[in-house]
A and B are shown apart, each in its own frame.
Chain A
Amino acid sequence: MINDKIIVAAADGDRQAFSKIYEEFNDMVWGLALKFTENTQVAEDGAAEIFVKLYKKIDKFDFRSSFKTWLYRFSVNTLLNFLEKEKRRYTARISDEMAEEGSPQAAQKKTDDKVLVRTLLSRIKPGEREIMILREIEGRSYKEIAEITGMKLGTVKTNIYRARESLRKVYKEETA
């Protein structure tokens, strides 16, 4: 279990304490990285980025929420920045993969869905993507999303509706 003492020790540069934090939360971080990047290679870079950054910024944790909630939010934000920063490389990789998936076997509906979802998500704003991942994929409630993102509850409701409207628009264009 991770307690305050381990966190403080990690903030004090203790790598062994930090490795305990890694052991405890690498599942959660890896799962998030996979969902956001939709590609194991990019996910690996993303997960690494989260922990490297966490080591530097762990003193920003203020002990007011649970460490897990804080780390979840930290991870989501780090991934979004990471994807923004790596946009060119990331897009190139995805299109390579899409080309591969363009083989005859790729007629399967599942593959088509995956390609379509990637396209849809790449066409909406990063903030909209984040909130859709939290709501539709992670199944988080409005209240949980407010806690994770730091948005007010009313803002969450408005943003979810707006993000869905954006998605609906690009969905119509892509499937027309």
Chain B
Amino acid sequence: MRCKKYSKKLLNRHIDNDLNEIKKADIDKHLKSCADCQSYIAEIKKIGVLLKTGLKPARRDLNNIPEGLWEKIETKLEITDGDIHLRRVKFITLRKLWVPLAAAAAAIILIVGGLGRNGNEFNADEYVSEQLDYIYGDKPMVSENYLNEDSNGTVIDMVIKGEL
């Protein structure tokens, strides 16, 4: 491309309708008299159309989710009790309304310290800082009902009873 009036990046933004009216009109006016910029835009658009038509999945494929896909997935679902335990701790500590901040932080360090000694690839520091990020965040993480309905986890019980 020989014409240097507008950058290629700007011409691409023009293609995607990402410019204000004034700039857009400016470029449109230029395009009327510049074969060079015109052919650049036409080329980019042509490749765009090619991608769209060439990669569009056939309707029959789209509507045909393979039979047995869920069964295939289900046999591979794996999660360890250890993971679940960690997640419970995480979800509880995220609920800052339920657990006062200081107590929560203390609880995390306590719990994580304990787990960290037994776990294999567990990075306690990383975990704690991740948790603290969430606690300082704005949104409560779980619905109010979750804790009330789940009475299996010992950690959950301890938090509810205020032991942690």
A residues lining the B interface (CB < 8 Å): 3-5, 8, 11-13, 15, 18-19, 22, 26-27, 30-31, 34-35, 38, 40, 43-44, 47-48, 51-52, 55-56, 59, 62-64, 110, 113-114, 116-118, 120-121, 132-133, 135-137, 141-142, 157-158, 160-161, 164-165, 167-168, 171
* Chain B interface bracket (under 10, 10 to 19, 20 to 34, 35 or more): 35 or more
Q: Is the interface of B mostly helix, strand, loop or mixed?
A: helix
Given contacts A35-B55, A114-B54, contact A164 B69 (CB under 8 A): no
Instruction: Known pairs A52-B73, A164-B47, A168-B47; list 16 more (Cβ under 8 Å).
Output: A12-B150, A13-B83, A22-B73, A30-B62, A47-B69, A48-B73, A62-B134, A63-B139, A63-B141, A113-B50, A117-B55, A137-B51, A142-B16, A157-B18, A161-B9, A168-B44
Give the Cβ gap from A30 to chain B, nearest Cβ, in Å: 5
Given contacts A56-B78, A164-B47, contact A12 B16 (CB under 8 A): no
15 A-B residue pairs with Cβ-Cβ distance under 8 Å, sorted by A, are A5-B143, A11-B91, A26-B69, A34-B57, A34-B61, A40-B61, A40-B66, A44-B72, A47-B66, A64-B139, A113-B53, A121-B55, A137-B55, A142-B16, A157-B13
Asked if B8 is at the interface of the complex by the 8 Å CB criterion, the answer is yes
Asked if B24 is at the interface of the complex by the 8 Å CB criterion, the answer is no
B residues lining the A interface (CB < 8 Å): 8-9, 12-13, 16, 18, 43-44, 47-48, 50-57, 61-62, 64-66, 69-70, 72-74, 76-79, 83-84, 87-88, 90-91, 134, 137, 139, 141-143, 145-146, 150
Q: Is the interface of A mostly helix, strand, loop or mixed?
A: helix
B12 touches A160 (CB 8 A): yes
B13 touches A5 (CB 8 A): no
Within 8 Å by CB of A8, from B44, B53, B143, lies: B143
A112 vs B150: C-alpha distance in the bound complex, in angstroms? 58
Give every chain B residue within 8 A of A38 (Cβ-Cβ): 55, 57
Q: Work out how many contacts link A and B, with CB atoms closer than 8 A.
A: 132
Give every chain B residue within 8 A of A5 (Cβ-Cβ): 142-143, 145-146
A117 vs B54: C-alpha distance in the bound complex, in angstroms? 6
